[in-house]
Amino acid sequence: MVFEVLVREKAGLVVFCLIFAVMFGGGGALATAQLVGMISNWTAARSWVAVPAQVLEAELKTEPGRKGKTYEATTRYAYTFGGQTYESSRLGIGPGGDSIGDWQRSQHLALLAALNQGRQVTVWVNPSAPSQAVFNRELRIGQVLFWLPFASLFSLIGLGALWGVWWAIRSRPAGAIPPNPPRISSDERQGLWATFWFVLCWNLLVFPIGAMVLVEHGLWGSHLVVLIFPLIGLALVRWLILKAQNRRRIGRTSLVLAPAQPVCGVPLFAQVEFGKIPQEGEYTLHLLNERIVQGRKHRRTHLLWEQEVRVWAGNGTLTCRFDPPASAQSSAVNGRVLTSWRLNLRWPDGKTSRNFPLTVMPASSQMSEAAAAAHHLPEVKEVDRSEAVAMPASVGVLVPLSDGLRIEYAVGRHRASARAMLTIGVLFCAVAGLLAVRSGSSVMSLLLGLTSLGLLVTGIRSWTTPLRVEATSQFLTVRGITAYKRLNEQWPASSVKQIVPVVEGSSGADHDQRYSYALQAELSSGGKVILGNGISSRAVAEMLAQRIRDALEK
């Protein structure tokens, strides 16, 4: 029975992984053999002896390619060792032709000059086997760096494909939803391992290429653009180290649910247990119901339902209650569509977070049993949620007015995106400068320069743009500057039908989507107006919407 399920549902995935394992694993094995062969030949040739030789032939073969020409210097020379004359055609310790630097052409010129002038050259002969000789016994660093990514990266991909075969065989059949374990661990460890392998593969690829470019082309020129990628690799290493240190500082975090198998329409009690004493402060727990659609090229995540709870913690546990509606969609897999639930826990600093994947069952006759199970766990108690949500300083400041209020949004709420635009703008500017130095004014350098200028201007405006919203019993006013335009608009309070928080966008991986919210005013004329964005908390967005509604209805 197990074999039939495997053949029916997993054969395609297993075959795909096996093909990857054979292709990339075989390529990695060949590259490793080539690399080991070069190093072993170089090590052996260091003990060979120098012997004068007469050049008999010297030729340079050229083959055109998509990215330039490939050169192969060939030769034939004669030498005498131990009273006997030998001939050899071996040029170096590596394979034949390549396009790495000008090594092939320089060797050809040296041999051709010796042939034309009739002078002898020095070759290196194996004293144990005099028929073995080589013209240049030096190890080409550029050639080693060229083969290193193939030997390491392809081998890792092949091993990863074999692990994929093992995972496919052991995983559940397609469409099966696993039940929640008694104690749910966060997926942070999996994310850390995924980050580690990505950073490792990135650096195994870009560092040898960057070093090869420097070795072959020198320390100055437009080719230095390639060094951007090793710099990104160093930034990724630093990011990985910070994530590992953060995980070690916080320790392992686990989640206990009551009921253990949640049901739509039944109150859900959650208790978070920390491995180490947590930071004292207000923690945010966010229960999310999402739909993930796997397209041909991309995955799209849609938020179906959410509830946010804030809990003050000063000991080793957090306890809170959620109320998933009976109309919510339960955990399910339907072809390329995954309906999932997760609990997101965010620390008081707003930077550290953990995600706990959950399985939630549909509303059914099991609701009464689940409710009974919830009340049989006295250690999990409902928390008081009557405390008002505070306005974070990172979002802005609430200023009371005699007949309403004013929201002064913090200019730093968009600094993450502004920092990204500024970084990319600086990189584009550096690339444009290098191209201009190397080839003078060109269309490419001009386009990159204009693009970098636009990114820098937009990033600076996003970093420093103020925005102010005033709500009174008479008017709703928006004044300020966004990254793209200046705002100075006003509407009568009676024309505002409602103020609602809406999802503005999301960022992060599929299993760790972070949503940002905006305040949207719906007017009686049918128009919609954004009253501020970049709000990272649903509870804060709902609080601001309610405060604006109260001010307009005074």
Closest of 263, 207, 259 to residue 230, by C-alpha: 207
User: How many Å apart are CA 159 and CA 214, to the nearest integer?
Assistant: 31
Give 226-261 as a DSSP string: GGHHHHHHHHHHHHHHHHHHHHHHH--EEEEEESSS
User: How many Å apart are CA 55 and CA 79, to the nearest integer?
Assistant: 9
Q: Quick check: 382 pLDDT over 50?
A: no
CATH numeric code, 253-375? 2.60.40.640
Mean pLDDT of 193-213: 86
Where do runs of H (alpha helix) occur along 76-187? 103-117, 141-149, 155-170
Please, which contacts does 17-21 make with residues 24 or more away whose CB atoms are closer than 8 Å? 17/161, 17/162, 17/164, 17/165, 17/168, 18/161, 18/165, 20/157, 20/158, 20/161, 20/164, 21/158, 21/159, 21/161, 21/162, 21/165
CATH second-level architecture of 396-409+466-552?
Roll (2.30)
Higher pLDDT, 464 or 155: 155
Pairing of strands 317-322, 299-313: unpaired
pLDDT digit string (tens) for 419-472? Answer: 778 888 887 887 777 777 666 556 777 787 888 888 888 777 777 767 888 888
Share of the chain above pLDDT 70, in %: 84
pLDDT digit string (tens) for 350-374? Answer: 778 888 999 999 887 555 554 545 4
Beta strands in 426-536 (DSSP E): 467-472, 475-481, 486-492, 496-507, 514-523, 528-530
Higher pLDDT, 169 or 540: 540
Identify the bridge partners of residue 489 per DSSP, sorted by sequence position. Answer: 478
pLDDT computed for residue 194 by the predictor = 81
User: How many Å apart are CA 256 and CA 254, to the nearest integer?
Assistant: 7
Q: Quick check: 53 pLDDT over 60?
A: yes
Burial of 545 (0-12, 13-18, 19+ CB in 10 A): buried
Q: CA 529, 534, 536, 537 torsion: positive or negative?
A: negative
Judge contact between 187 and 356, C-beta under 8 A.
yes
> CA-based diameter of the chain, in Å?
112
pLDDT digit string (tens) for 81-116? Answer: 988 999 999 998 887 778 777 888 899 999 999 999
Judge contact between 67 and 73, C-beta under 8 A.
no
Would you place residue 279 in the very low, low, confident or very high pLDDT band (cuts 50, 70, 90)? confident
Token readout for 298 is 């991309």
Please, which contacts does 307-310 make with residues 24 or more away whose CB atoms are closer than 8 Å? 308/284, 308/537, 308/538, 308/539, 309/284, 309/285, 309/383, 309/385, 310/282, 310/283, 310/284, 310/285, 310/385, 310/387, 310/389, 310/539
Label residue 255 left, alpha or beta by phi (over 0 means left) and psi (-120 to 50 means alpha). beta
Give 330-375 as a DSSP string: PSEEETTEEEEEEEEEE-TTSS-EEEEEE--BPSSTHHHHHHHHHH
Judge contact between 168 and 39, C-beta under 8 A.
no
Give 521-534 as a DSSP string: EEETTS-EEE----
Would you place residue 174 in the very low, low, confident or very high pLDDT band (cuts 50, 70, 90)? low
Task: Note the Cα 501 to chain centre separation in Å.
Answer: 29
357: number of CA atoms within 13 Å, CB side?
Answer: 17
Judge contact between 476 and 496, C-beta under 8 A.
yes
199: DSSP letter? H
Most confident option among 36-45, 138-147, 526-535: 36-45
Would you say the pTM of this structure is higher than 0.95? no
Higher pLDDT, 32 or 9: 32
Mean pLDDT of 241-265: 87
Place of tokens 């993930």: 292
Helix (H) or strand (E) holding 300: strand 299-313
Closest of 473, 523, 541 to residue 308, by C-alpha: 541
Number of other CB atoms surrounding residue 107 within 10 Å: 20
Spans of all domains in the chain: 47-136, 253-375, 396-409+466-552, 415-464
Upstream peptide bond of 259 is cis (omega within 30 degrees of 0):
yes
pLDDT digit string (tens) for 256-275? Answer: 999 988 999 999 999 988 88
Token readout for 509 is 């991986």
